[in-house]
């Protein structure tokens, strides 16, 4: 987990819609912390965050803080952004597989296109939306072994 404060993004950072089920997650992003949900009955890590376990149909879940580390599962350099991203292209959309297991949709920041690879170790950074939340994005990890699948 990176400990630095949220930073100004080079990418647009559109604010997510927050509801009571997800407020704790988004509040934590503003503090530079990545939370995940875990099922109290079967132990599954839940993604996307919800107050329900899709693996065992339990309503008993808890938040825990994730490591903020993972590896790129897949990525694309998108040359045609839409909406808030219309002027942002090219930018990198990716799935990162967190060390805790879930594959989450995100962007890769602070990376040269040539350095990207499936399996590349990455770490979370938070980009302020200006509305009390921050988007968890990932950058190549500072210290870690090279790509693996």
Partner 1 sequence: MSIRGKAHIAGAYEHPDRKIPDKSVPQVHAEVALGALADAGLTMGDVDAYFCSGDAPGFGPLSMADYLGLNRLRYMDSTETGGSSYLVHVGHAAAAIAEGKCRVALITLAGLPRSQRPQRASAAQLAPEAAFEQPFGPTTVSMYALAARRHMHEYGTTSAQLAAIKVAASQHAQYNPNAMLPNPVTVDEVLDSPMISDPLHRLDCCVISDGGGALVVVAPEVARDLTRQTVKVLGHGESPKLAANGHIDLTYTGAVWSGPRAFEEAGVTQADIDYASIYDSFTITVLQTIEDLGFCEKGKGGAFVADGSLLAPYGRLPFNTDGGGLCNNHPVNRGGMTKVIEAVRQLRGEANAPVQVPDCEIALAHGNGGSLGTRSGAATLVLGREDA
Residue ranges binding partner 1 (CB under 8 A): 11-18, 22, 26, 44-50, 54-55, 73-85, 88, 91, 93-95, 101-107, 118, 129, 135, 137, 149
Residue closer to partner 1, measured from CB, 1 or 57: 57
Distance in Å, CB of 74 to partner 1, minimum = 4
Residue closer to partner 1, measured from CB, 54 or 132: 54
The rounded distance, in Å, linking the Cα atoms of 115 and 96 is 15
The rounded distance, in Å, linking the Cα atoms of 129 and 127 is 6
Element (H, E) at 37: strand 35-39
Residue closer to partner 1, measured from CB, 50 or 143: 50
The rounded distance, in Å, linking the Cα atoms of 122 and 68 is 8
Distance in Å, CB of 2 to partner 1, minimum = 18
Distance in Å, CB of 144 to partner 1, minimum = 19
Distance in Å, CB of 132 to partner 1, minimum = 13
Is residue 55 within 8 Å of residue 43, measured between CB atoms? no
CA separation, residue 45 to residues 50, 59, 100, 114 (Å): 11, 13, 7, 32
Distance in Å, CB of 145 to partner 1, minimum = 18
Residue closer to partner 1, measured from CB, 12 or 144: 12
The rounded distance, in Å, linking the Cα atoms of 68 and 86 is 28
Helices (H), the chain: 23-30
Residue closer to partner 1, measured from CB, 75 or 122: 75
């Amino acid at each position: 987990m990176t400990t630095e404060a949220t930073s100004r993004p080079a990418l647009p950072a559109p604010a997510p819609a927050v509801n009571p089920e997800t407020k704790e997650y988004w509040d934590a992003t503003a503090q530079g912390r990545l939370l995940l949900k875990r099922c109290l009955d079967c132990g599954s890590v839940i993604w996307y965050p919800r107050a329900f376990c899709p693996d065992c149909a339990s309503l008993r879940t808890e938040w825990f803080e994730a490591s903020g580390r993972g590896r790129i599962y897949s990525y694309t350099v998108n040359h045609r952004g839409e909406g808030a991203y219309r002027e942002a292209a090219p930018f990198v959309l990716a799935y990162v597989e967190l060390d805790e297991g879930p594959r989450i949709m995100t962007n890769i920041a602070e990376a040269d296109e040539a350095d990207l690879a499936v399996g590349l170790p990455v770490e979370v950074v938070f980009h302020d939306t200006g509305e009390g939340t921050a988007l968890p994005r990932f950058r190549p990890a500072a210290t870690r072994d090279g790509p693996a699948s």
